Structure 1
Amino acid sequence: MRDLRFDNRFVRELPADPEDGRHVRQVHGACYSRVDPTPVRAPKLLAWSREVADLLGLDEADVRDPRFAEVFGGNALMPGMVPYAACYGGHQFGNWAGQLGDGRAITLGETINPQGQRWELQLKGAGPTPYSRRADGRAVLRSSIREFICSEAMHHLGVPTTRALSLVATGEPVIRDMFYDGNARPEPGAIVCRVAPSFIRFGNFEIFASRGEEPLLQQLIDFTIDRDFPELAEAEPDPVQRRLRWFEDVCRRTAVLIAHWMRVGFVHGVMNTDNMSILGLTIDYGPYGWIDNFDPDWTPNTTDAGGRRYRFGHQARIAQWNLWQLANAVYPVIQQVEPLERALAMYGEVFAAEDRRMTQQKLGLATWREGDEDDDASDAARVARLHTLLRAGEVDMTLFFRQLSDLDLAQPSVSHFDTAFYDQARRGDVAAELEAWLKDYAARIAQDGVPGAVRRERMNAVNPLYVPRNYLAQEAIDRAEQGDPSGVSELLEVLRRPYVEQPGRETYAARRPDWARHKAGCSMLSCSS
């Protein structure tokens, strides 16, 4: 296995925790703590992403080398790796939680690939750190499989995301209480190697602002701009204006990200500020979920079941709330309220524009008829009515939009969508109204004058056929826990081409089966890892 080239700017340019060791502590005046992964009993490679390996300059021979599992299972280091856990805080479910930090993630280093790109390599589940609080720093196989699969699936869907290089079994049990109900049990452990240009998140800035450590806050902001937003560093000589342009860019990236989530039906499940990437990437795949039947109020997180703060239809508002917290955090080194407020307002404008653009694409509209939801002739009203009918009829979101591209516009019929309904009684409740909507839609499409083949091609390019539904991931998990990890690679292979029909793989495109409606892991999940 070849070695990678490392250039660890984060640890080289930012202050470190003066204390050594894994013992839990409050870390002040530092951006990170040096800590090595804790070795495991029997690291074994279960799955890997050839695309991410290629990004790093690795090939299959490198990955199949026994040393690969040793390194990415936490038992060995490559020359140049300088492992650390980052210090950060965060708002969790709307409340300030104080210091959090990398409690079970350890960054190995920043590698520079043959194309000169910087990639941070991070092991999730690699053992305790000073930020582990009362936890063991480990991760179980089920959550590791879900993170590995979804990280790569999101990339192939065209959604900004962190990536995943590998999934390594540890050969050691991890004790977890999946639903926090007193039924803890041993589960197989695993480690995911996550890959991103940066894992800095909103909480990295919040912790220093909360402690009044303004010089360190300013240092981290300027470092982040210089390393991760170099185009801003070069274009704006004034430091305050450069920080403002940076905050605007973070708002813009976040708005685009959330619009993509809504486009494909993804629900993050735990949008705490410590789970928000400064680069506008999907980060920290915990109790996420995929919308099966269209329901804006659905959350996949059992911890969020009461308040539903992080429900599907609320994600855009929560992202803006999180950006407000970031604005509060960076204000001490900017000292200008109005530009920050303008950037926050811009977030809403960008999200609205991106959401409209993506919805227009999903519906195959060449133009957008302006108006609001109260104007029956407007496309906004048309979309609002559709969402109401999809929810009332318990219609599968992914299947409906995919099948819409093949609708016979000369004779639009609800029967075209029979496989997308979860409940026949509810189908009957909405059938007449939905058929009326489809006729109106067909007339609207005709006004654009776009050839049918062109419209179908455009719609199928943005409406996926294959998404990592919870039950599909759970089936792969069940097989892996019985000693057969091949289901992970099989599922990933399908998800590599989410927009292309794959003959023989129809089961991967089916709606959620009835047995999965309430099965653990197939409906709601906890934050347990």
Structure 2
Amino acid sequence: MATALQLDQATFENPFVDELRGEVSGNKGSRQVPGYHYSRVTPTPVREPKLLAWSDELGDYLGLAKPVGRGAAESILGGNILLPSMKPFAARYGGHQFGNWAGQLGDGRAISLGQVAATDGSPWEIQLKGAGPTPYSRRADGRAVLRSSVREFLCSEAMHYLGVPTTRALSLVATGDEVVRDMFYNGNARPEPGAIVARVAPTFIRFGNFQIMAALGEMDNLRALADYVIRHHYPELGEPSLEVYVRWFEEVARRTAVMVAHWMTVGFVHGVMNTDNMSILGVTIDYGPYGWLEPYDPDWTPNTTDFGSRRYAFGQQPHVAMWNLMALAQALGPLVADPQALRAGLDVYADTFSATQHELLLRKLGLTALDNASDHALTEALPAALAEAEADMTIFFRQLSYLPAALLTAEAQEEKLFNELLAQSTYTDAPGADLGLREWLHRYALRLRQETASPETIQEGMLAANPKYVLRNYLAQQAIEAAEAGDLSKLNTLFEVLKTPFAEHPEHEELAAKRPEWAQDKPGCATLSCSS
């Protein structure tokens, strides 16, 4: 295995800059930038970059050593130093925000440094979020605060270890500067500590990159970007052509369906599924006002900006992803002989989402597909039962994972086992609220007894599919408040536990608890905004 390099020893490649059309004026002023895929722009230096957190496993995969001391690597991660091989840029894109066309958006506070080769040779782009203004900052300062940066760093990695397709986070760096933010846009702006996250992905290209080109009739740019993505990120499809564009859209739709199915089966709510927040790779991108269901509620969104319409509520996510794919198909229409051919991709999305969600749910329930119709009826009945009982989805499935042996060997104990499960995993004590879920559990127990595997094998599989630990918002908020006070212990402990979310960690049982009463309405726990 090759020796890990300090970041300042790494060599960066820059295919996005080298192969696509960009402006090189260096002007960071907010403005429209028609005719280009990106703008060359450098990070704005900060007062005192200081490493707060580092993903050892991701660093190892990238062949990068954790920065030691106050050196060049730390300064690069804070945006104070650039290497000669870097060609930093901010990408131009547009998008639909809350269903409305917003025109040009772009990387307003993210600056990509270029790509490094991982230990397996695959290229990964490193991007600094919170690195200062770009032409796409829309009169903002291009900075990020510590609270939002902690949330992005933790969730990027937590989702990876849950097995959800996602961008990654390499580092969290304090800037030593203060940033003025109005968390809920209600006139209560205040200075907060600034921070920068180094985000990592094969590419950060979004649906919106294509939308802005199509909206302004930049057909050459649209085709060049599509060809670039296919050659670099979908090479298995072959050289770009009329037929390959169609197959490529189908693959984007398939990957998007797999991603959203994972969201729905771990109880994750993205919170702001604008088309500019949809990755062309089908990975979760842009961790802002996200959350996990506590309790199960299809209409819940953590995003205060979305309280009026609930457009991005948990239960709406599969439909919004389809809507966003339709918007992408409209943008790609000029590239194909018959735009109607792209409709097949939407069918791929619907079929893949349904099949993947069902498969993931069966895995969580310890079941193998026997009778497809009855199995679908069983899984489709569960969400309403969970909602009625106000069940904590994470705790419900985890506690259910401990029951196969008892359910299969001590049928007479069934009611007692279900009483304990419901007491542990539900938030309401309203009379009769758990009747639907109790009935569902009896149906499940009957179905479980049709399995031929041993109880131990079933339980082992369920424990590997149902995490004990997820990044609940109140846990993130506790880590944020401690970090703002200079205490990184909560952040470090939470990060380590989230790397192995399916393990027991008996010494950290408190991190698997139901949401406490004090967190029910606390800002940062139950309510967030796009500033979060």
On whether the aligned pair clears a TM of 0.5, the verdict is yes
1:415 aligns with 2:411: no
Cα shift readout 1:316-340 (whole Å, capped 9, x = no counterpart)? 1100110000000011111312320
Match of 1:374 in 2: none
Task: State how 1:17-36 maps to structure 2 within 5 Å.
Answer: 17-36=23-42
| Bigger mean CA deviation after superposition, 237-246 or 71-80 | 237-246
Change (3 A) 1:120 1:490: same
Structure 2 distance, partners of 1:208, 1:63, is 43
Q: Is the 8 A contact 2:268 2:291 kept in 1?
A: yes
For 2:83, the equivalent position in structure 1 comes to: 78
Identify the match of residue 105 of structure 1 among 79, 103, 110.
110
CA–CA distance in structure 1, aligned partners of residues 246 and 72 of structure 2: 45
Q: For residue 13 of structure 1, what is the aligned residue in structure 2? A: 19
Residue pair 1:4, 1:111 contacting (<8 A) in 2 also: yes
Find the aligned partners of 1:483 and 1:94 in 2 and give their Cα distance. Answer: 40
The farther-off stretch of 400-409 and 292-301 is 400-409
| Cα drift, residue 114 of structure 1 | 3.8
The superposition leaves residues 125-145 of structure 1 with CA deviations (integer Å, 9 ceiling, x where unpaired) of 000000001210000000000
C-alpha separation between the residues in 1 aligned to 2:253 and 2:286? 19
Mark the CA change 1:239 to 1:63 in structure 2 (over 3 Å): closer, same or farther.
farther
Structure 2 counterparts to residues 353-502 of structure 1, below 5 A:
353-371=355-373, 378-407=374-403, 408-409=406-407, 410=411, 411-413=413-415, 414-417=418-421, 418-425=423-430, 428-502=431-505
Match of 1:109, SS state, is strand
* TM-superposed deviation, 1:393: 1.4
Identity of paired residues, percent? 57
Report the counterpart of residue 375 of structure 1 in structure 2: none
The answer to whether structure 1 residue 227 and structure 2 residue 220 are counterparts is no
Give the distance between the partners of 1:222 and 1:431, measured in 2 at CA.
53
Q: Is the 8 A contact 1:300 1:523 kept in 2?
A: yes
**Aligned with residue 304 of structure 2, among 279, 302, 321:** 302
User: Size of the alignment, in residue pairs?
Assistant: 517
Deviations 1:485-522 (A, max 9, x none): 23212111000101111121100111111111111111
| CA shift for structure 1 position 179 | 0.8
Q: Report the AA paired with residue 406 of structure 1.
A: Y
Maintained 8 Å contact 1:38/1:74 = yes
AA aligned to 2:336 is I
1:246 aligns with: 248
- Matches of 1:38 and 1:486 in 2, distance apart? 29
C-alpha change, 1:63 and 1:229, in structure 2 (3 Å) is farther
- After superposition, the Cα gap between the structure-2 partners of 1:380 and 1:17, relative to the gap in structure 1 and judged at 3 Å, is same
**What is the rounded CA distance, in whole Å, between the counterparts of 1:396 and 1:75 in structure 2?**
44
> Separation in 2 of the partners of 1:44 and 1:279?
32
CA distance in 1, matches of 2:380, 2:283: 28
Q: Is the 8 A contact 2:167 2:284 kept in 1?
A: yes
| 2: CA distance, partners of 1:190 / 1:230 | 36
Q: C-alpha separation between the residues in 1 aligned to 2:118 and 2:339? A: 40
Of stretches 82-91 and 359-368 in structure 1, the one that deviates more from structure 2 is: 359-368
Q: TM-score, normalising length from structure 2? A: 0.95
Is this contact kept in 1: 2:128–2:199, CA < 8 A? Answer: yes
Q: Per the alignment, in what secondary structure is the counterpart of residue 247 of structure 1? A: helix
**What is the alpha-carbon distance in structure 1 between the residues aligned to residue 196 and residue 144 of structure 2?**
7
How far apart, in 1, do the equivalents of 2:441 and 2:478 lie? 35
For residues 30-429 of structure 1, the aligned pairs below 5 Å read 30-60=36-66, 62-64=67-69, 66-233=71-238, 237=239, 239-371=241-373, 378-407=374-403, 408-409=406-407, 410=411, 411-413=413-415, 414-417=418-421, 418-425=423-430, 428-429=431-432
Q: Which amino acid aligns with 1:23?
A: G
- Residues 102 and 129 in structure 1, CA contact (< 8 A), matched pair in contact too: yes
CA distance in 1, matches of 2:470, 2:350: 27
Amino acid at match of 2:282: G
**How far is 1:240 from its partner?**
1.1
State which drifts further: 88-97 or 388-397: 388-397
The one-letter amino acid of 2:479's match is A
Residue 435 of structure 1, CA deviation: 3.0
> How far apart are residue 231 of structure 1 and its match?
1.4
Which region of structure 1 is more displaced relative to structure 2, 249-258 or 439-448?
Answer: 439-448
Residue 341 of structure 2 aligns with an amino acid whose one-letter code is P
- Which amino acid in 1 is paired with 2:14? N
Give CA deviations for 1:150-196 in whole Å, capped at 9, x if unaligned.
Answer: 00000000001000000000111111111111111111100000000
Deviation of the 1:18 alpha carbon: 4.8
Q: Is the 8 A contact 2:369 2:375 kept in 1?
A: no
Partner Cα separation in structure 2 for residue 64 and residue 387 of structure 1 = 50
8 A contact 2:27–2:135 mirrored in 1? yes
| Secondary structure of the structure 1 residue equivalent to 2:13 | coil
Aligned-CA RMSD value: 1.4
Verify the 8 A CA contact 2:133 2:143 in the aligned structure 1.
yes
Q: CA deviation at 1:65?
A: 5.5
User: Taking structure 1 as reference, are residues 63 and 158 closer, same or farther at Cα in structure 2, changes over 3 Å only?
Assistant: farther
Closer, same or farther in 2 for the Cα pair 1:172/1:495, shift >3 Å? same
Contact 2:207 2:278 in 1 (8 A): yes
Q: Distance in 2 between matches of 1:269 and 1:519?
A: 17
**Take 1:126 and 1:444, find their aligned partners in 2: how far apart are those partners?**
54
SS in 2 for 1:257: helix
Distance 2:41 2:94 in 1: 19
Q: Deviations over 1:236-266 (max 9, x none)?
A: x561111111111100100000000011111
* Structure 2 Cα separation of the partners of residues 231 and 5 of structure 1: 27
Shift of 1:38: 0.3
Does the CA contact (< 8 Å) of 1:289 and 1:524 recur in 2? no
The CA distance in 2 between the partners of 1:31 and 1:493, in whole Å, is 38
More deviation, 196-205/381-390: 381-390
8 A contact 1:8–1:111 mirrored in 2: no
Offset at residue 437 of structure 1 (A): 2.5
CA offset digits 1:385-428 (Å, max 9, x no partner): 33222111111100001111222312223322212121222xx3
Which stretch shows the higher mean deviation, 166-175 or 479-488? 479-488
C-alpha distance after superposition, 1:443-480 (max 9, x if no partner): 11101222111111111111110000000000000101
Mapped contact 1:254–1:280 kept (Cα < 8 A): yes
